[in-house]
Amino acid sequence: MTPNTTSPAKSTEDRLPVAGLLALAMTGFICIMTETLPAGLLPQIGVSLHISPALAGQMVTSYALGSLSAAIPLTLATQRWRRRRVLLLAIIGFVIFNSITAVSTHYGLTLMARYGAGTAAGLAWALLAGYARKMVTRSQQGRALAIAMVGTPVALSLGVPTGTWLGALMGWRLAFGIMSASTLLLIVWVLKSVPDFPGVAQHERLPFGRVLRTPGVRSVLGVVVTWMLAHNVLYTYIVPFIAPAGLAGEADRILLLFGISALAGIWLTSCTVDHALRLSVLVSLAIFAAVAGVFAIGSASPAVIMIGVTIWGLTFGGAATLLQTALADAAGEGTDAALSMNVVVWNSAIAGGGLLGGVLLETWGALSFPWIVMALAAVSFLIAWQARSYGFRPGHRLGHGKEN
């Protein structure tokens, strides 16, 4: 009897729904683009609205406030809704508020539109990671989340410079108009490729306080705030930091290098998130702290800056995937609530990094950044290290309890 050597076809259940996951990634891309686009166009916006660049910069602040204030309330309000309806609500919010921004000639209305766009982002970010996990089996969740999160580094490394260039070339209003048009296409993409799921039944809803007290949740959020605070001190003030090395005029290339390295970091994380999540977090934080230490003693060297930024990008690229996977695993049935907390904590760390970095820059100068970054990264490492029983457990994540 001749043995059958034909390999069985890979079942549909084993295949990642790449088209749907990329639609989620595009949603994240729109979030980041909408948030950061004004930063590169402040002079043009100021002239158009007859305001100073400093006032124009409050468009970014207003967006952040919208995200911070809306993530938890909107997540609570929409918990019982079908998931695709909530996702489309957030995406339609971008269409409406970016369109208003594109045509508004009144500063107050523009700020209100930016706040509205921020609320859409807060709802989207609270939804994306949990949605990606629902679309696949538990064994695929790490890789699925890595794909769903790829929109962030793409937006930061390629989208923002392109949007800034386009806005400078054709006007900032056209840049926001293109964002709205792109988002309309995203709606069609979501309807075609993203499956729908029921919301959480009334009896299944967990109070936020109970979710926060779930073992491991606070540890993961502690790592989020310290890691992102350290990252944003350096990232927000990258221009003054690289100036002593004579690279102030090369900031766009430095950020592009960081973004490309972050993309590579996402790929590496997709290979390790399921079987070595704890190790990946600890190694990333240890290397980040080491890079900060090298920056502290060699920041005047262009070579040190270039190599350091490349390694920094590699360690940061997978951070969102690692931390949101750990948080969702720890929260279990409270995943959506925990991820909405993550939006608040993450955005607070971004704002806190800008504030702390500004104080450091005015008080001790940019050379103080690496020392603070190294200290924060060390604290983050220690939090993750002690969260061995819950939060960041060793071994393969499939061996940790039931499917969420």
Domain identity same for 44 and 142 = yes
- Of residues 377 and 10, which shows the higher confidence score? 377
C-alpha span between 361 and 353 (Å, rounded): 12
Give every CB contact of residue 209 below 8 A, 6+ residues apart in sequence: none
288 found inside a domain: yes
Domain identity same for 168 and 255 = no
Residue 340, pLDDT above cutoff 80:
yes
State the sign of the Cα–Cα–Cα–Cα dihedral 294, 296, 301, 304. Answer: positive
* Count of structural domains, the chain: 2
Domain identity same for 369 and 227 = yes
11 found inside a domain: no
What percentage of the chain exceeds 70 in pLDDT? 93
Domain identity same for 194 and 263 = no
1 found inside a domain: no
Dump the DSSP string for 83-111: HHHHHHHHHHHHHHHHHHHHH---HHHHH
Entry pTM: 0.82
Cα distances from 282 to residues 64, 112, 146, 393, in angstroms, run 29, 41, 18, 11
Query: Considering the chain, what is the average pLDDT of its residues?
Result: 87
10 found inside a domain: no
148 found inside a domain: yes
| Chain segment 157-203, per-residue pLDDT in tens | 677 677 777 777 888 899 899 999 999 999 999 999 999 999 876 65
Domain identity same for 105 and 254 = no
Domain identity same for 131 and 260 = no
Domain identity same for 216 and 168 = no
219 found inside a domain: yes
Residue range of the domain that includes 329 = 208-396
Domain identity same for 298 and 384 = yes
What percentage of the chain exceeds 90 in pLDDT? 49
Instruction: Indicate the residue among 202, 229, 244 that finishes a domain.
Output: 202
Residue 7, pLDDT above cutoff 50:
no
pLDDT band, very low/low/confident/very high, at 141 (cuts 50, 70, 90): confident
**Helices assigned H by DSSP within 273-365:** 277-298, 302-317, 319-331, 335-363
Domain identity same for 181 and 67 = yes
Q: State the CATH number of the domain containing residue 154.
A: 1.20.1250.20
Domain identity same for 155 and 294 = no
